[in-house]
Structure 1
Amino acid sequence: MKLGFLTACLPARPLAEIAEWAAAHGYEALEVAAWPDLGDRPFTATHLDVANLSERAADETRTLFDRYGLTLSSLAFYDNNLHPDPDERKAINEHVLACVEAAARLGCPTVGTFVGRHPGRTVAENLEDAEQVFAPLVDRAGELGVKLIVENCVMEGWHPDGYPGNLAYSPELWEWMFSLGLYLNYDPSHLMWMGIDPVTALRPYVEKIPHAQAKDIQLFPERRHRYGWPGKAIGRTDPFDVGWWRYRVPGLGEVDWRAVVDTLYEGGFDGVLSVEHEDPVWGGTEDKVRTGLEVAHRTLRPLLIA
């Protein structure tokens, strides 16, 4: 198992600088942000232009990772593959395909995305739509030896009422995903606020997890007594601010990382554990973000077998 991080937390830095910093601070892998340019949308970045990846750029990327002894663990493009606008949905699906093509050229084993959701259709209708949307993507990924992985993030801010906006939030839905040929990019933080024990949920499915993310969560149950499980209903200016929990870097929240890592090892996981830094305390400036990554490294590195 190697320790890496998702580069989206440093959107203004070029990939070469991030790689140099990562290697100097004990990280062994990078999950590279590959969104198209989305302006100021938070937690996204374009550290690799997959839609216009020339052979020269591919060679330079491979050389960069070799220079610093890093593994390119995944290309990250987490967006709504069931977007209600048909043109937007088509563009997102095509960008996932571009990520798959780029991953194959770079020797990268996985591409990460979301299932997503059309908020105006039922869960059952969305699942039927997803079977059609993902079939050609999974087929092409399989042809190229790349695995499509889906993070179990709830994406509640994508739904107008704060309900799950990414239909991958529970083991029930993971099993449906696996039946389509998709894999899981496991993140324990999302399970905890859903009321799902992350270790119990993880144990039966390790063989379907080629890549995992490390994000922690801090819960405030006393606030949940006011808002209820879906979170704030009035005055919710930020669609992702539910009011009773927040993400933290590993070690500053409530995830039992010793148990999570032990369960991954027990199940035979030998991929990359990638820190996804969305901590509002250790965010806002690049210096704070880097400090958060150092906290995460100090927390997780002792748990991994060198």
Structure 2
Amino acid sequence: MKLGMLTACLPQLTLEEIAAWAAGAGYEALEVACWPDTGGRDFEAAHLPVANFGPADVERTHKCFADHDLTLSALAYYENNLHPDPVRRAEIRTHLTRTIDAAAALGVPYVGTFVGRDWTKPVRENLAEAEPIFRELVDYAGERGVKIIIENCVMEGWHPDGYPGNLAYSPELWEWMFSLGLYLNWDPSHLVWIGIDPVTTIAPYAERIVHAQAKDIQLDPAAVNRYGFFGKAVDRPNPWDVGWWRYRVPGRGQVDWDAVVDALYEHGFTGTLSVEHEDPVWGGDVTRVEQGLSIAHRTLRPLIVA
């Protein structure tokens, strides 16, 4: 097992800058964010130019990782592959296939994304629509030696009423997507707030958990008594502000990391545990984000065999 980090939390920095910092901070791997370059917008990280990824980009990327003795664990493009707007859905698919092509060129085994959801349709119709889409994507990736990994994030902010916007949030849905040839980028934080014990989900699905993300979560029991499980309904200007929980860096929330890492080892996980930093306390600027990543490293590093 390696301890890594997802680069998406540092969209202001180049991949070379992140690699230098991560290596100095003791990280061993990077999960590299590959959203499209939108010309300076700092919300989505574009750390590899996958849309036009040529031999020079391959050579430069390999040199960057070799210089800093890091592993490139996965490429990340987490978007809604079932977006209800057909034009937007086609854009997402095109960029995802380019990300797969870049992973193949680099020899990276995994590309991470979301199943997503057309929020105008019920779950049953979404699953039926998704099956041919993802079978084709799995075949496309497999022909290039790449596996598609799906993060089990609920993506409640994608749904107009805060319901699940990514149909990969529960073991029931994992079994459906595994039948299509997909794998899991397992994240315990999302399981906690929907009432699932993360540790119990490792053993049954160990063969499909090939990459994992380390994100913590902090619950507010008093707030859930006011808003209920689905969160704020009347005053919710930010669709991601559920009101009764927030993400934290590992060590600042309620995930039992001793139990998580122990279970991953027990059931044969040899991939990368990649810190995904979305902690509002340790956010806002590069310095605070790096401090949060350092907290995560101090929490997790003692648990991982050198």
Q: TM-score, normalised by structure 1?
A: 0.98
Alignment pair present for 1:296 and 2:296: yes
* Distance in structure 2 (CA, Å) of the matches to 1:178 and 1:283: 34
User: Which residue is 1:133 aligned to?
Assistant: 133
Question: Given that residues 282 and 288 in structure 2 are in contact (C-alpha distance below 8 angstroms), is that contact kept between their aligned partners in structure 1?
Answer: yes
Q: Which runs of 4+ in 1 moved over 6 A?
A: none
Q: Deviations over 1:69-108 (max 9, x none)?
A: 1000010000000000001101111111111110011011
Alignment pair present for 1:215 and 2:215: yes
* Distance in structure 2 (CA, Å) of the matches to 1:77 and 1:213: 14
2:46 is paired with a residue whose SS is coil
* Distance in structure 2 (CA, Å) of the matches to 1:287 and 1:254: 24
Alignment pair present for 1:99 and 2:82: no
1:7-156 maps to which residues of 2 (within 5 A)? 7-38=7-38, 40=41, 42=43, 44-156=44-156
* Distance in structure 2 (CA, Å) of the matches to 1:117 and 1:40: 25
* Distance in structure 2 (CA, Å) of the matches to 1:278 and 1:256: 18
Amino acid at match of 2:145: G
> Displacement, 1:41?
6.9
* Distance in structure 1 (CA, Å) of the matches to 2:211 and 2:202: 13
* Distance in structure 1 (CA, Å) of the matches to 2:285 and 2:295: 15
User: Which residue is 2:162 aligned to?
Assistant: 162
* Distance in structure 2 (CA, Å) of the matches to 1:175 and 1:235: 36
In structure 2, the gaps of 5 or more residues are none
Q: 1:251 to 1:211 in 2, by over 3 A?
A: same
* Distance in structure 2 (CA, Å) of the matches to 1:268 and 1:151: 19
Amino acid at match of 2:63: T
Alignment pair present for 1:274 and 2:274: yes
1:210 is paired with a residue whose SS is strand
1:46 is paired with a residue whose SS is coil
> Displacement, 1:37?
2.9
Amino acid at match of 1:296: A
Amino acid at match of 1:56: A
1:235 is paired with a residue whose SS is coil
Q: Deviations over 1:20-47 (max 9, x none)?
A: 11111100000000001356474x2000
Paired-residue identity, %: 66
> Displacement, 1:49?
1.0
* Distance in structure 1 (CA, Å) of the matches to 2:133 and 2:142: 15
In structure 1, the gaps of 5 or more residues are none
Q: 1:33 to 1:199 in 2, by over 3 A?
A: same
2:202 is paired with a residue whose SS is helix
Question: Given that residues 202 and 267 in structure 2 are in contact (C-alpha distance below 8 angstroms), is that contact kept between their aligned partners in structure 1?
Answer: no
1:206 is paired with a residue whose SS is helix
User: Which residue is 1:187 aligned to?
Assistant: 187
* Distance in structure 1 (CA, Å) of the matches to 2:72 and 2:11: 17
Amino acid at match of 2:110: T
* Distance in structure 2 (CA, Å) of the matches to 1:137 and 1:41: 28
User: Which residue is 2:245 aligned to?
Assistant: 245
How many residue pairs end up in the alignment?
305
* Distance in structure 2 (CA, Å) of the matches to 1:132 and 1:201: 27
Q: Deviations over 1:154-211 (max 9, x none)?
A: 0000000000000000000000010000000000000000000000122211110110
> Displacement, 1:64?
0.8
* Distance in structure 2 (CA, Å) of the matches to 1:133 and 1:41: 30
Question: Given that residues 37 and 49 in structure 2 are in contact (C-alpha distance below 8 angstroms), is that contact kept between their aligned partners in structure 1?
Answer: no
> Displacement, 1:236?
0.3
C-alpha RMSD of the superposition: 0.9
Question: Given that residues 248 and 279 in structure 2 are in contact (C-alpha distance below 8 angstroms), is that contact kept between their aligned partners in structure 1?
Answer: yes
Q: 1:89 to 1:52 in 2, by over 3 A?
A: same
